[in-house]
Amino acid sequence: MRFFVTGAGGFVGSHVASMLAAAGHQVIAHYRRMPARPDARFETLVHDLSTPDLTVPGRVDLVIHAAAAAAADHEPGGGDPDRYLTDNIIAAKHLLDWASGSDVGGILFLSSLSVYGTISVPVVEPSTVPVQPGLYGASKLFAERLFAMAVAAGGPPVVVARLPGVLGPAAPRNWLTTTLAKLKTGDAVEIFNAEADFNNAVHVADLAAWAVHLANTAWHGFHTLTLAAAAPMAIRQVVMQMHDAVNSTASVTTVPKVQQAFCVSTAQATSEFNYQPMTMVAMVNRFVSENHGQDWPSEWVK
């Protein structure tokens, strides 16, 4: 199969592209700028998606749109609105301008649970109504609308995957990475909603495997799905599993509930598109193992 992966210079895009190539698939890896050391397994395509006239030659069985301005909710004001507009919305429009007139089997758009904004339900599903999303979430939601409009206008079919924190080697900042960073350095960890179930994670390996399934399956229309790990665990169990795996000396304390804890439903993704993720136990084990020697930024443990 032939895949076009946007954002191959980023965390998700780079790992998915690498895993697809390792499995023997043809990969067109998109970058905003030429990488210092291009991967010989890829067809490298350099283009700034904030500009029009994207061209990808030949048949593409599946586009995996991973290029985006990352969430910066921890930054003052929630990040740069101009960057979200350019990299998350305008870039999606230019991708669709190309795909709608090209030989494309389908598109997998990697969106985010951030589209939901303030979550006040115990289980998040595709149909959960967004409530006041931040700048990043709003930009991803707007991009989703562009994909829906393109399908309605006769473009290629689209699956939108709303992702929680994504795990893998040298994973970016999310709750699990910051917690593991603290455990490895011996810094105290506080747990909120300790007994609540948790499955709010996706591994890059699951995304790559699922992309192959999508590329090999006939499907039509526009679909919005939520992805997460299988078999949720209590938050306390997740933390203690990582704590014991790294022989941490960090203290782990619980604090009163401050906000709604929630799990993520994968029922629709599994029943309609055969999404088969790792269990939460297996995902945590793999995450700890593949980041054994990883040192994350010191500000993550503050």
For the cut 60, the answer to whether the pLDDT of residue 76 exceeds it is: no
pLDDT for the residue numbered 82: 92
Lowest pLDDT segment from 74-88, 137-151, 196-210:
74-88
pLDDT for the residue numbered 302: 56
Task: Please tell me the distance from the alpha carbon of residue 133 to that of residue 122, in angstroms, as a whole number.
Answer: 18
Alpha-carbon distances, residue 284 vs 114, 165, 178, 211, 245 (angstroms): 22, 12, 13, 22, 10
**Which residue in this structure is represented by tokens 């006939």?**
218
| DSSP class of 78 | G
Task: Please tell me the distance from the alpha carbon of residue 45 to that of residue 63, in angstroms, as a whole number.
Answer: 13
Highest mean pLDDT among 15-29, 34-48, 165-179, 180-194: 15-29
For residue 63 the two structure tokens come to: 């586009």
Burial-class residue 125 by CB neighbours within 10 Å (0-12, 13-18, 19+): middle
Task: Please tell me the distance from the alpha carbon of residue 11 to that of residue 9, in angstroms, as a whole number.
Answer: 7
Q: What's the sign of the alpha-carbon dihedral 269, 272, 273, 274?
A: positive
157-195 per-position pLDDT tens digit: 999 999 999 999 999 889 999 999 999 999 999 999 999
Residues 279-291 have a mean pLDDT of: 95
Task: Please tell me the distance from the alpha carbon of residue 220 to that of residue 186, in angstroms, as a whole number.
Answer: 50
C-alpha angle 14-138-180 in degrees, rounded to nearest 5:
50
**Closest Cα partner for 49 from 2, 109, 106?**
109
Pairing between β-strand 222-226 and β-strand 158-163 as defined by DSSP bridges: parallel
Count of CB atoms situated within 10 Å of the CB of 144: 20
pTM of the shown model: 0.95
For the cut 90, the answer to whether the pLDDT of residue 143 exceeds it is: yes
| DSSP class of 227 | -
Domains delineated in the chain: 2-170+200-228+260-277 (3.40.50.720)
100-139 per-position pLDDT tens digit: 999 999 999 999 999 999 999 999 999 999 999 999 999 9
- Paired with 26 in beta bridges are 2
Give yes or no for a contact between 131 and 120, defined as CB atoms under 8 angstroms apart: yes
For the cut 90, the answer to whether the pLDDT of residue 301 exceeds it is: no
pLDDT for the residue numbered 294: 75
Q: Residues 169, 245, 231, 179: what is their CA dihedral angle, to the nearest 10 degrees?
A: -60
Count of CB atoms situated within 10 Å of the CB of 245: 16
At 54, the amino acid letter reads: L
| DSSP class of 128 | P
CB contact set of 218 (below 8 Å; sequence gap of 6+): none
pLDDT for the residue numbered 117: 94
CA 223 from chain centre, in angstroms, equals 16
186-227 per-position pLDDT tens digit: 999 999 999 999 999 999 999 999 999 999 999 999 999 999
Q: How confident is the model at residue 245 (pLDDT cuts 50, 70, 90)?
A: very high
Tell me the average pLDDT of the chain: 93
- Paired with 220 in beta bridges are none
pLDDT for the residue numbered 257: 74
pLDDT for the residue numbered 7: 97
